[in-house]
Amino acid sequence: MKRYGIFGGTFNPPHIGHSILAENMREQLSLDKVIFIPSGVPPLKESKGLLSAEHRLKMTKIAFERDPNFEVCNIEIADSLSGKKSYTVDTIKKLYDLYKNDFVKLYLIIGIDNLIDFPKWKDPGKLFTLSEVIVMNRPGFTVQDVDAEFSEKAKYANVPMLEISSTKIRECASAGRSIKYLVFPEIEQYIAENELYKKP
């Protein structure tokens, strides 16, 4: 049976922190690969300032497909282009169908801030029957903040506490400050060439 990690996000933009965390999870969980899934229109996130699906998918591929242990799946982007909202529980069901020939077991990799928001997610309890829910620590959040119904079912993983975020990178790019070493050089070049995150 193959073991695949699912790592979702807006990737607006993807950065080296995502790669570090994904590789850390791949090693800790003995995963065969990590699948990055850029979201379409996230139901619980403010879409203001969200780049087009096309730009985010291109950057996600540039950032992660360099690694043979990583894969990028456009399943949620495809939903958004047809006008649908994507919900994690539905995405996981589709992934089992997509990888049915691999006899796969899926590991949903999320931050503890996501687990805190689980009561707002669609059918969150079902996620624990469809996958192993692996929760990464994040600065400023503790398990005491999580609904007991979900905290007891999740499994926890310690990962490096990285002070790198897409928000900070967007702020730097918007202000004309350097984002060197926060993203891969090709992403830095893509952002510059396409004049992304510049103030209107």
Question: Over the stretch 12-24, which tens digit does the pLDDT of each residue have?
Answer: 999 999 999 999 9
Cα(33)–Cα(200) distance, integer angstroms: 39
pTM of the model: 0.94
pLDDT (mean) for 175-195: 97
pLDDT (mean) for 164-178: 95
Q: What DSSP character marks residue 195?
A: T
Give the pLDDT score at 130. Answer: 96
Residues 6+ apart with CB under 8 A from 60: 11, 14, 36, 38, 72
Give the pLDDT score at 156. Answer: 96
Torsion of CA 74, 76, 78, 84, to 10 degrees: 180
Question: Over the stretch 43-99, which tens digit does the pLDDT of each residue have?
Answer: 666 666 789 999 999 999 999 999 999 999 999 999 888 888 889 999 999 999 999
The CATH number given to 2-162 is 3.40.50.620
Residue 172, Cβ density class (10 Å: 0-12 exposed, 13-18 middle, ≥19 buried): middle
**Residue spans of alpha helices (H) in the chain:** 16-28, 53-64, 75-81, 88-98, 112-116, 124-130, 148-151, 166-175, 185-193
The DSSP string of 42-83 is -TTS--TTPPPHHHHHHHHHHHHTTSTTEEE--HHHHHHHTT
Residue 43 preceded by cis peptide, ω within 30? no
Q: Computed from CA positions of residues 36, 40, 42, 48, in that sequence, does the dihedral angle turn out positive or negative?
A: positive
All structural domains of the chain with their residue ranges: 2-162
Give the pLDDT score at 19. Answer: 97
Burial 145-164 (b: 16+ CB within 10 A, else e): ebeeebbebbeebebeeeeb
pLDDT (mean) for 167-193: 96
Question: Over the stretch 32-48, which tens digit does the pLDDT of each residue have?
Answer: 999 999 998 776 666 66
